[in-house]
Structure 1
């Protein structure tokens, strides 16, 4: 299938729910910091993102997530929407600063009670809860003590995991240890785009190792606390393209792949850290022991893949340490965020994982697009581009399944517009439009399509509205 834009009628033949198994998981993803708000309510204390938002110039619109979508108070309405769409699963994250607001190690009962109510609300609506334990909102007091660079943060994470899974494990069976450790490490500590905003490549590699180590150590804790637990991790992965066939660009693509993809996949599957990355980045390597690398490879029940776009890589001799750069190729379809729209990239990525690594169930734990949505005079939000984005990516997903990739579920990013990290409220990814001034929720065209897709077996012309 071409990655060129398609019109509404062309999409009709692409995908139907009957293309997927009856037990396929259909869900949407959210994260605590991006939607909850209630930043100082019921004992919650600041995370590194609360602190980051206060630094001038870090958030493009100078906003913060003090209120966000006010999901902390409006969660019944939000879960109703997910249920009405026909979802059978709901991926959310737990805010560490709500559970442990200080360094005492004593859990905050009000924080635990909130997530207990939230999980009960999911179950009452037929939504299977998928909990992400870490989606970037590290308590600020831990960052003050060194953050993920400090080995002690791994121990603090394990205590947090133990308490949360003991409290909620009677109702939650699906657990994701970390969301996108690449972003935690590299955006947070190398390019400084994310909290805590450091620009230190050696620190970023140390953070990545401690995050991955905490993952490996957490898996047996979860399994001990939760009978029949299914445990995985969600990685942000990208199919890569060389900017040209030159030897320099091909080498650059290999180096970029080493850090972007294989640095996380290889140790998870028992191969250790990639030898080419270790050699090329020898002056920046974290403290790593063989036993720790073995722990990272604790067997998983599933792999979560977050897919958004491919990357085109060119050699950049003056850009250490990788000597690579991202190149934007003109003429390709892009989202409002500037990300390339490439459904075939999803299929290629999934095929690569299936071919290069041991067999494991895969879930698309995030996939979605940002556009500059507007409320029309009639109150509707006609996000046709996002609707077609979903259709085309689901078609690519089904192609991957037909080619033997063991994909068992799809989680759309996201249920609703939210605080989009360093972009503030400038980017909208939701199937539900949020008026952040009034907190009014409006289902977009893409949400209506998804509802019809999940409630009806075959896409029809009426579904396209």
Structure 2
């Protein structure tokens, strides 16, 4: 496998999903604290109140990471733990937690990659309009400044936002995630513009506040289009499908072009331009230099083109997504297993923007439990990761610059509206006792790291 010598192997987690201590040490409410306590919103009424109790067990957890051999850990910071009101007075206890966590990671020779926002938006700011309020960009920039000034002497890898299409569309259009809104396209376009503006202002705040050169990106979720046959016709069709607007607000170009080109795709302007509250200078604010592109990829879609112009060609002449046959392999999230997704996701984004690629999340929910021998055997996870990582390695072999890979997730944790029934971790967590058990996949991943991916060829 073609992974560069300086390639970074890590794993990831998010504040609300693992920390617990949801109301401890003067932490403010997040939209997820409120949403998860609303009857009927989450599976079994599960909340992140305790989760993995990482807030109190971070030292033990860092030792687990060290045992696996992680080179880097992608963590997120809870905005309302730092600023209980979202703005104003800093909660020193909350900031102190991350200060100690960063020191603990560095002591274990694990590089922290810090994500500033992984969905736990402050409730008090939501009550002031949330992402509909343009001031969100400035609120977040001020929060960014506080965190970077506190941690930037030791942290040099930063990510602004995690999966903006998900927290915008699932949280504000579908209503299945916090805050549970079901807004119109007019509202959503406005939110998207403010979120992109927030990213740009946060990047500027990081570079202004960091006492050392910083590497900055974000983590964008994307489902790459995959050609069913690797010939010119199918590759071109898959590229066209990926950058086209057939998937509406989920389109990768809608999110990436403003950030990396300083412009909205023309098709997006044609469709939603009247809803986008663009002011002079906004696109310049969004378009800040990034050091790599972070992509969260779990699955892709196959694209076929039939030479006879059959059912796979739409009435407008564009290729259709290929359906999955009966019995196609699915994860416990009912997501199709598409190992080529990392290759094509890296290819499409790198050829358009020319930046190195980091896979900031990839993994699967599987059927994991403690076996009679006391271990946790998860061969499906090992097989899944091997297949996907081979795809990412192929991208490197084809000359695409690869920066890092972060497995999702280091621990079983709170899977948002799915509660605790979906287990993504390399490490099994007993939510009653908080016992951690390294799964077989964790021991396997250690070998992947030690060999810099060489064992993936076996």
Q: Residue 343 of structure 1 aligns to a residue in which SS?
A: coil
Corresponding residue of 1:6: none
User: Which of 116, 119, 124 is the matching residue for 2:102?
Assistant: 119
Q: Name the SS for the 1:220 alignment partner.
A: helix
Of residues 325, 328, 332, the one that matches 1:336 is 332
| Whole-angstrom CA distance in 2 between matches of 1:101 and 1:326 | 47
Deviation at 1:289, TM superposition (A): 2.2
- Structure 1: gaps of 5 or more residues: 1-14, 316-323
Match of 2:118 in 1: 135
Check whether the contact 2:3–2:453 (CA below 8 A) recurs between aligned residues: no
Deviation at 1:327? 6.3
How far 1:155 moved relative to its partner?
A: 1.4
Aligned residue-pair number = 432
Alpha carbons 1:31, 1:135 under 8 Å: kept? yes
CA pair 40-159 structure 1, distance change in 2 beyond 3 A: same
Distance in 1 of aligned mates of 2:136 and 2:120:
13
Partner of 1:205: 189
Query: Does the residue aligned with 1:74 lie in a helix, a strand or coil?
Result: helix
Q: What secondary structure is seen at the aligned counterpart in 2 of 1:215?
A: helix
| Counterpart among 82, 88, 98 of residue 81 in structure 2 | 98
Name which of 222, 226, 249 aligns with 2:206: 222
1:268 and 2:248 correspond:
no
Equivalent residue, structure 2, for 1:386: 381
Q: Deviations over 1:178-202 (max 9, x none)?
A: 1111112111111111111111132
| Residue 3 (structure 1) aligns with | none
Paired with 1:362 and 1:379, the residues of 2 have a C-alpha distance of 38
Report deviation, 1:78. 1.1
Alignment partner of 2:223 out of 238, 246, 250: 238
Residue 281 of structure 2, aligned match among 291, 294, 303: 291
Question: Quick check: 1:73 aligned with 2:64?
Answer: no
- Between stretches 132-141 and 445-454, larger displacement belongs to 445-454
Where in structure 2 are the equivalents of 1:401-440 lying within 5 Å?
401-440=396-435
Q: Give the conservation status (yes or no) of the 8 Å contact 1:313–1:325.
A: yes
Is 1:172 the counterpart of 2:149? The answer is no
Query: 1:454 & 1:49 partners in 2: Cα distance?
Result: 34
Kept in 1, the 8 Å contact 2:225–2:241? The answer is no
Of 89, 101, 108, which aligns to 2:91?
Answer: 108
CA distance in 2, matches of 1:294, 1:228: 22
Structure 2 CA distance for partners of 1:300 and 1:78, relative to 1, 3 Å: same
- Contact persistence 1:367–1:413 (CA under 8 A): yes
Aligned counterpart, 2:246? 256
1-side partners of 2:197 and 2:171: how far apart?
18
Residue in 2 aligned with 1:154? 137
Correspondence for 2:290 among 290, 293, 300 = 300
Write the distance in 2 (CA, Å) between the matches of 1:311 and 1:174. Answer: 31
Q: How far apart are residue 313 of structure 1 and its match?
A: 9.0
The alpha carbon displacement at 1:329 in A equals 4.8
Q: Contact 2:225 / 2:344 at 8 angstroms: preserved in 1? A: no
Residues 174 and 231 in structure 1, CA contact (< 8 A), matched pair in contact too: yes
Gaps of 5+ in 2: 229-233, 305-310, 312-319
Equivalent position SS for 2:4: coil
Give, in whole Å, the separation in 2 of the partners of 1:154 and 1:389.
Answer: 38
**Residue 231 of structure 2: aligned partner:** none
* SS of residue paired to 2:44: coil
Q: Which residue, 437, 443, 447 being the options, matches 2:438?
A: 443
The alignment's C-alpha RMSD in Å is 2.6
Residues 98-149 of structure 1, C-alpha deviations (whole Å, 9 max, x = no match): 1001256011111111100000000000001100000000110000111111
Query: Structure 1 106/252 Cα, relative in aligned 2: closer, same or farther at 3 Å?
Result: closer
Q: Distance in 2 between matches of 1:256 and 1:387?
A: 33
Residues 415, 432 of structure 1: 8 Å contact kept: yes
Residues 262, 286 of structure 2: 8 Å contact kept = no
> CA offsets, 1:277-297, max 9 Å, x none?
2222356x2312241012111
The change in CA–CA distance for 1:145 and 1:458 in structure 2 (over 3 A counts) is closer
Distance (whole Å) between structure 2 residues aligned to residue 254 and residue 453 of structure 1:
36
TM-score when normalising by structure 2: 0.89
Q: Hey, what does 2:348 align to over in structure 1?
A: 352
The answer to whether the 8 Å contact 1:383/1:446 transfers is: yes
